[in-house]
Amino acid sequence: MRVAIYGYGNLGRGVELALRQNPDCELVGVFSRRAPETVKTATGAPVYAAADILNFKDEIDVLILCGGSATDLPKMTPALAKDFCVVDSFDTHANIPAHFAAVDVAALAGNTLCLISAGWDPGMFSLARVYAGAILPDGEDYTFWGRGVSQGHSDAIRRIPGVLDARQYTVPVPEALEAVRRGDAPTLTTREKHTRECFVVAAPDADKAAIEQAIVTMPNYFADYNTTVTFVTAEELQRDHAGLPHGGRVIRTGRTGLDGEHTHAIEYSLRLDSNPEFTASALVAFARAVCRMKARGRTGCLTAFDVAPADLSPLSPEELRKKLL
């Protein structure tokens, strides 16, 4: 399948690298809104101007969008869905129904097949929730994130005056995790589920106490959590916190039996050295499914929920049954 990348940041680079691991994929090129000659790709993939993408309509089977969910994808995905089969990683949970509707209209009008919100959350975590909920109807879901870097929270700290750089880790509370796993089915507040660890580089003349106060009281981002702030040098941040690890787990516990006397726990967990590279790898697998389903005549908008797992795999149905079932 012939794949193109639209947008070249950490995620686009991850897709470029992931495609090399999938022999059935061919990278047509990277499309960027920056001047192509200023974009250097990791593997030397050709770079084209985003404005020229319609010239490549017949050369691209599926286009993987690597823009941000805040401002890029809400416009980008429906616009490109008219002419291309696209896959995106739209992750603003509350706006998924509206995004789905907009992409569905565009895809049906353009006779394309699109898939939104691929990745790990939304994505693999969402799938874990659907499977577990279908098997254990009498139960409860828990999602824990981390230990990992939240880029949104890191950005929020960087916007505080006097902050030069920052890294924020989301960390699940071990006691909460254990109570859930045991099957206690606890009701947990935001504060009881996760803590937040912040590593901050302050400007030389900055008021560190004021920065710390600004962080721990920040509404939505930190006020509802137990938050620790550690000031580090730029060198320490680069040395100890340069990566983008993440992960987490979805747990569903539930009951079966004549009187609900048996409890069960289903847990899906991820430990990721690189959040963008793992997300990119998921996008490539879903791009494969989109190609196959489009070839069978499907059009419109999909999510991971609509994809039979066999369509994600490079193996044939016969191989899958023989080797993995």
Residue window 48-67: x/- pattern of binding to a copy of itself, with contact defined by CB under 8 A: --------------------
| CA–CA distance, 134 with 120 (Å, rounded to integer) | 19
Q: Which residue carries 């590593």 as its tokens? A: 199
| CA–CA distance, 303 with 274 (Å, rounded to integer) | 23
Q: According to CB under 8 A, which one of 5, 87, 149, 282 is a site residue for a copy of itself?
A: 282
**Rounded least distance, CB 70 to a copy of itself, Å:** 18
Q: According to CB under 8 A, which one of 97, 174, 219, 297 is a site residue for a copy of itself?
A: 97
Nearer to a copy of itself, 239 or 262 (CB): 262
**How long is the chain?**
325
Nearer to a copy of itself, 221 or 268 (CB): 268
**Rounded least distance, CB 48 to a copy of itself, Å:** 22
| CA–CA distance, 111 with 297 (Å, rounded to integer) | 9
Q: According to CB under 8 A, which one of 7, 14, 78, 148 is a site residue for a copy of itself?
A: 14
Q: Tell whether omega for the bond before 174 is within 30 degrees of 0, i.e. cis.
A: no
Closest CA to 241 of 211, 198, 196: 198
Should residue 299 be labelled a site residue for a copy of itself when binding is judged by CB under 8 A? no
Beta bridge partners of 140: 253
Should residue 126 be labelled a site residue for a copy of itself when binding is judged by CB under 8 A? yes
Residues of span 235-264 touching a copy of itself by CB under 8 A? 256-258, 261-264
| CA–CA distance, 149 with 245 (Å, rounded to integer) | 6
| CA–CA distance, 3 with 61 (Å, rounded to integer) | 6
Nearer to a copy of itself, 51 or 134 (CB): 134
Nearer to a copy of itself, 226 or 263 (CB): 263
**Rounded least distance, CB 39 to a copy of itself, Å:** 16
- Label the pairing between strands 47-49 and 26-32: parallel
Should residue 295 be labelled a site residue for a copy of itself when binding is judged by CB under 8 A? no
6: number of Cβ within 10 Å: 27
Q: According to CB under 8 A, which one of 35, 209, 242, 325 is a site residue for a copy of itself?
A: 325
Should residue 27 be labelled a site residue for a copy of itself when binding is judged by CB under 8 A? no
Should residue 297 be labelled a site residue for a copy of itself when binding is judged by CB under 8 A? no
Nearer to a copy of itself, 37 or 259 (CB): 259
The set of residues, in sequence order, having a beta carbon less than 8 Å from that of 224 and lying 6+ positions away, is 189, 190, 191
Long-range contacts formed by 45-52: CB under 8 A, 24+ apart? 45/5, 45/16, 47/8, 50/6
| CA–CA distance, 24 with 280 (Å, rounded to integer) | 16
Nearer to a copy of itself, 196 or 249 (CB): 249
Should residue 109 be labelled a site residue for a copy of itself when binding is judged by CB under 8 A? no
Should residue 9 be labelled a site residue for a copy of itself when binding is judged by CB under 8 A? no
Should residue 129 be labelled a site residue for a copy of itself when binding is judged by CB under 8 A? yes
| CA–CA distance, 239 with 165 (Å, rounded to integer) | 13
Closest CA to 171 of 149, 142, 199: 149
Residues that bind a copy of itself (CB under 8 A): 14, 17-18, 21-22, 42-43, 93, 96-97, 100, 117, 122, 124, 126-131, 133-138, 181, 256-258, 261-274, 277-278, 280-282, 285, 288, 303-310, 312-315, 317-318, 320-322, 324-325
